[in-house]
Structure 1
Amino acid sequence: MSTIAAIIGRILIAALFVLAGIPKIIDPSGAAQMLQSANLPGNLAQPVGIFEVVAGLLLALGFMSRLVSILLFGFTLLTVFFFHNQFGDPLQAAMALKNVAIAGGLLMVFAYGHMVWGYDRMRAARRGEREAADANARAHDAELRAARAEGRAEAVEGAPVARRRVLDRDGDGHVG
């Protein structure tokens, strides 16, 4: 049950960024004005929107979830620093608190997000399966070499006496 909750939580946090980024891509003028009011270049609106959408989708899919969650964590805290820093205003304080809570959720994804369903986990599982298959193949090859060596040893033991003397190095009458 906790796995399902973690997946749903990760998708809901990701949806927040995707839905916030789409308007910045479609019509960046509003976001550009907001950026300029914070003394930031207005032409960052579309790149920020693209970052939010791409990072949100990667987070939802569980692809590079640790990296993406820490990048979004920093992005969210920068949002508090640049846009919601008027703590005397109740609305701004509430927005800052909301972003801090989102940052906390992103830290949880960073800490535990790689443990549940996602592309990274599937890739790691496939890597483990590949390593196990390689280990089995090496063990099989070692068994074949041992069986061939055993077969050669049995063939030498059954060889005529003259041949055994050639291979009898210590002179005790036994090969080996």
Structure 2
Amino acid sequence: MNTIAALAGRILLSLLFIISGLGKLFDVSSAQAALTAVGLSPDLALPAGLFELIAGLALAFGVATRLFAVLLAGFTLVTILFFHHNLLDHLQVVEALKNLAITGGLLALFAHRQVAWSYDGLRAKRDRESAARDAEMRAARAEGRAEAMADVPRGTVVTEPVTDIDGNPTGTVAVARRKWWQI
């Protein structure tokens, strides 16, 4: 149930930014007018729309979730500073509180990193499986060396092949079979 709630929360948060970004991209003149009204450069309308769209899509698909959650949280706080700073206007206070709640959701997404059913989750699973395979291979090689050494009389010097991390031979090393009292 937690997985479904985390996925739904991530998608719902991302929809807000996807729709807002698309609105800025399809109606650039309105976004430019809003930016000019608060004293910002109207040239920021297109980059802001692209950022919101790309970051929203990244959240929806779970790509670099923590990074985009923090970036969007910062972006949302900056919008409070520029657009909703008049605390005497009740509507501005409501908008500022809404943006604070969105920032809280984004920071919770950053902190808990619910990555199930996301690209980040698939990548983490692949990395864990690869590490487990590597550990199994190292254990099998060590077991094979131990079995080979069991047949060698004590006190005998044996040369063993040395391999790099990928299993490619790099040379040999002399290994002395210890006597029973040399643990």
Same fold (TM over 0.5): yes
Across the two proteins, how many residue pairs are aligned to each other? 156
SS of the aligned residue for 2:113 comes to helix
- The question of 1:144 aligning with 2:140 is answered no
What is the CA-CA distance between 1:23 and the residue it aligns to? 1.8
2:170 maps to what in 1? none
Identity of counterpart residues, as a percentage? Answer: 47
Kept in 1, the 8 Å contact 2:6–2:114? The answer is: no
TM-score when normalising by structure 2: 0.79
Taking the aligned partners of 2:15 and 2:115, their CA distance within structure 1 comes to 20
Rounded to whole Å, the distance in 1 between the matches of 2:112 and 2:66 is: 9
Structure 2 Cα separation of the partners of residues 74 and 110 of structure 1: 12
**Bigger strand share:** 2
Q: Which residue of 2 aligns with 1:72?
A: 72
Q: Which amino acid aligns with 1:122?
A: L
In the other structure, the counterpart of 1:23 is: 23
Report the counterpart of residue 130 of structure 2 in structure 1. 130
Q: Show structure 1 runs of 4+ deviating over 3 A.
A: 114-117, 151-154
Look at both structures and tell me which one has the larger radius of gyration over its CA atoms.
1
Q: CA deviation at 1:123?
A: 1.2
TM norm structure 1: 0.82
Once residues 60 and 85 of structure 1 are traced to their aligned partners in structure 2, the CA distance between those partners, rounded to angstroms, is: 29
CA RMSD, Structure 1 to Structure 2 (Å): 1.9
Partner of 1:48: 48
Amino acid at match of 2:47: P
Bigger shift: residues 122-131 or 12-21: 122-131
* Aligned-partner Cα distance in 1 for 2:45–2:91: 23
| Distance (Å, rounded) in 1 between the aligned partners of 2:41 and 2:141 | 63
2:112 and 2:11 map into 1 onto residues whose CA distance is 14
Gaps of 5+ in 1: 157-169, 171-176
- Structural mapping, 1:101-116, within 5 Å: 101-116=101-116
Residue of structure 2 equivalent to 1:174: none
What residue ranges of structure 2 are gaps of 5+ in the alignment? 157-178
Kindly provide the amino acid, as one letter, of the partner of residue 130 in structure 1: S
- Of Structure 1 and Structure 2, the greater helix share is in 1
